[in-house]
Amino acid sequence: MIQVHVSKRLHTAEGPMDLVFSGTIEQGEFITLFGPSGAGKTTLLRMIAGLTTPDSGTIIVDGQPWFDSGRRINLSPRRRSIGMVFQDYALFPNLTVAENIGLALPREKRGVIVGELLEVAGLQELAGRKPDKLSGGQRQRVALARALALKPTILLLDEPLSALDLQMRLKLQDELLRLHQRYQPTTLLVSHDLSEVFRLSRRVFVLDRGEVTRSGSPTEVFSQSKISNKFRFNGEVVHIKPSGVVYIVHVLVGQDIVQVIASEREIATLKVGKRVLIASKAFNPLIMPLDE
């Protein structure tokens, strides 16, 4: 369990801002921090990692204080069981894929752990290549494998997929879910992508100007509850959930999430990431895939 209760005075382009966060995260949870740029999301990750010092508060991980302003405890980043992945990957250009993954590992364990991660991440054929010979998606998989090499308690992801195109983002979201299920790190993701939040997160904290304005499951936080008696719009399927004999399809329309009930016949043509048309006459919405 991770207990984070911290505050930090920030100086932003819009003036001073107080970042205040208080939350408890269960072991193995996948959490997303969502909100506009400058809301304090990355700073919160940096405080958990020990790269930025809070002004006050506590960070307790599995009963161990990583930070406690009252007791003047502040573990260095090297003493915190953290894996981090950034948008720019931060790979060492002069090292191969295998060397990047195994860089921080003890020599006696390096071969076994690197071999396992190369296999799990589908990187065996790329082990001897250097980063400049890899695609963006391949570099991101190397960065994820490296972050997991030391089997960290917490995995911190700062918009790691935002620079990739939609098809590659969807592929790597699946990869990230698979790695999370295998290694079970407690994961905190910073993201601006609602589709990504729905696909990956168990819970989401929405930050705005340093404050948590909403929290809960993605459905609770983002679902559109308004009812219209006649509409027609396009959107993207972000989540499909069985509910008895029907399915609940969550569709991203602009910046809103709309829930639509679909039959088993309708669901056969739908999948996450699919562009769809939602249309309604009276109160019976129809959902159908758009031609690609």
pLDDT tens-place string over residues 228-285: 445 667 888 888 888 776 788 888 887 778 888 777 777 888 888 888 887 765 444 5
Average pLDDT over the chain reads 85
Predicted confidence at residue 284, as pLDDT, reads 47
In the chain the domains, ranked by start, together with CATH numbers, are: 2-220 (3.40.50.300), 225-289 (2.40.50.100)
Backbone angles phi, psi at 58, to 5 degrees: -140, 150
What is the DSSP track for 4-62? EEEEEEEEETTEEEEEEEEEEE-TT-EEEEE--TTSSHHHHHHHHHTSS--SEEEEEET
State how beta strands 73-74 and 186-191 pair.
unpaired
Q: What is the mean pLDDT of residues 64-75?
A: 95
Say which residue, 86 or 98, is predicted with more confidence: 98
Q: Which of helix, strand or coil describes residue 157?
A: strand
The tokens for 219 are 């459905």
Assess contact for 160 and 32: CB atoms under 8 A: no
Predicted confidence at residue 286, as pLDDT, reads 54
> What does pTM read for this prediction?
0.74
Neighbours of 147 (CB within 10 A): 22
Q: What is the pLDDT of residues 263-272, one digit of tens each?
A: 777 788 888 8
Say which residue, 254 or 7, is predicted with more confidence: 7
| Length of the chain counted residue by residue | 292
Question: Which stretch of 163-177, 188-202, 215-229 has the lowest confidence by average pLDDT?
Answer: 215-229
What is the pLDDT confidence band of residue 226, given thresholds at 50, 70 and 90?
A: very low
